[in-house]
Amino acid sequence: MTKEEREFQNQHHSKSIDRDIWSVFKIMGEFVEGYDKLFQIGPCISIFGSARTTPENEYYQLAVETADKITKKGFGVITGGGPGIMEAANKGAELAKGKSVGLGISLPFEQGINQHVDPDFMINFNYFFVRKVMFVKYAQGFVVFPGGFGTLDELFESLTLIQTRKIDQIPIILFGSSYWEGLVDWINKTMKGWGTISDKDTDLFHVTDSTDEVVDIICDFYSQKEPMPNF
């Protein structure tokens, strides 16, 4: 390696270190803003699902109804702030004059925060993992509507954290039995059959098609326990 090549490599290495150090401060800033704002909002239920769900879809309307009923029980509704199911849930919370929280993420192919998020309860994140920590810490339950990879990612992360006792158990409700039945059957037959989960692990979630049952599960759970941040 020539002297010029070594100097170029050292300069490149120095710039990389500087960039990494500054990214740490950006990450810290997102955590501080999230903790500060969400702690003040109070107990929330997270409703999430596909960003591609249109207002004509039955699950969009059911998400509006679910959020409406949840907020009337005194909980805020927290979503990823985007379109689809997230928009529907924020709309339901807004219609019920409840707390409508949106934790947005900067993505090249989404529209940004939907119009039904309260501007006082709006946070935009650059890092997915920081945003996910906010959901896990401040959502006192998860209502999971039909969705794609991101929905499954959030669902299984929350189940893993409860299973490993990194957070206390909270209600996790899969809405739409016809959508989830294939996954639930696979969990019961394959995962249990292979011994990769225990028999009791499927007790960590519920499946329903009823908005009233969603509210009952959440309210019954918190009739025995005060809602608190999860860690």
Please write the tens of the pLDDT for every residue from 139-161.
Answer: 999 999 999 999 999 999 999 99
- Residue 188 within a domain: yes
pLDDT value at residue 174: 98
- Residue 29 within a domain: yes
- Residue 228 within a domain: no
pLDDT value at residue 3: 58
Taking CB atoms within 8 Å and a gap of at least 24, the contacts of 103-110 are 103/34, 103/78, 103/79, 103/131, 103/134, 103/135, 104/80, 105/80, 105/81, 105/131, 110/51, 110/82, 110/83
- Residue 229 within a domain: no
- Residue 230 within a domain: no
- Domains contained in the chain, number: 1
- Residue 184 within a domain: yes
Which residues does 11 contact at the CB level (< 8 Å), separation at least 6? none
Q: Give the CA angle between residues 55, 59, 65 to the nearest 5°.
A: 90
- Average of per-residue pLDDT values in the chain: 91
Tens of pLDDT along 202-230?
Answer: 999 999 999 999 999 999 999 988 888 88
- Residue 141 within a domain: yes
Distance CA 118, CA 104 (A): 12
The whole-number average pLDDT for the span 62-84 is 97
Token pair recorded at residue 38 = 């969400």
pLDDT value at residue 155: 97
| Beta bridge pairs of residue 44 | 76, 139
Give the domain range for residue 12: 3-222
Tens of pLDDT along 77-135?
Answer: 999 999 999 999 999 999 999 999 999 987 766 668 999 999 999 999 999 999 999 99
> Is this model's pTM higher than 0.75 or not?
yes
The CATH number for 158's domain is 3.40.50.450
pLDDT value at residue 8: 46
- Residue 132 within a domain: yes
